[in-house]
Amino acid sequence: MRSESLLLLEQLQGLVSNAKSLGYHDDDLVKLTFKKILESGDTYSIAELENWFASKMNGVDQSVIDRVLNIAHYQKSKFEANNKFRIVSDGNDCSCGNH
């Protein structure tokens, strides 16, 4: 993940670190966080997020983490469904056809 995405996840960590549950406002902030990550061109795997939360969020109620992961999965599925033909760069930014 890019450093910008990790910064967004750290902000999210601050939001949920003391939560016993997530309210509607919290849900919206979590959705917005993952939407920003995906719209920036970055991506994530749910397994990667699970590992990140496990290492960073000791003591947080598991139901809160599960809710965040469910939102992340939903946002990713929704984003991928709406961007089926998104072009992914292979690192070669030359569009001239010469290799």
Give pLDDT tens digits for 3-61. Answer: 999 999 999 888 888 788 888 899 999 999 999 999 999 999 999 999 988 888 777 88
Whether residue 59 is contained in a domain is answered as yes
Whether residue 26 is contained in a domain is answered as yes
The answer to whether residue 88 scores a pLDDT higher than 70 is no
The answer to whether residue 76 scores a pLDDT higher than 90 is yes
Whether residue 93 is contained in a domain is answered as no
Q: What is the DSSP string of 12-56?
A: HHHHHTT-SS--HHHHHHHHHHHHHHHHTT----HHHHHHHHHHH
The answer to whether residue 1 scores a pLDDT higher than 60 is yes
Tell me which of 81 and 84 has the higher pLDDT. Answer: 81
Mean pLDDT of 64-83: 92
Domain that holds residue 43: 3-82
Whether residue 58 is contained in a domain is answered as yes
Number of domains in the chain: 1
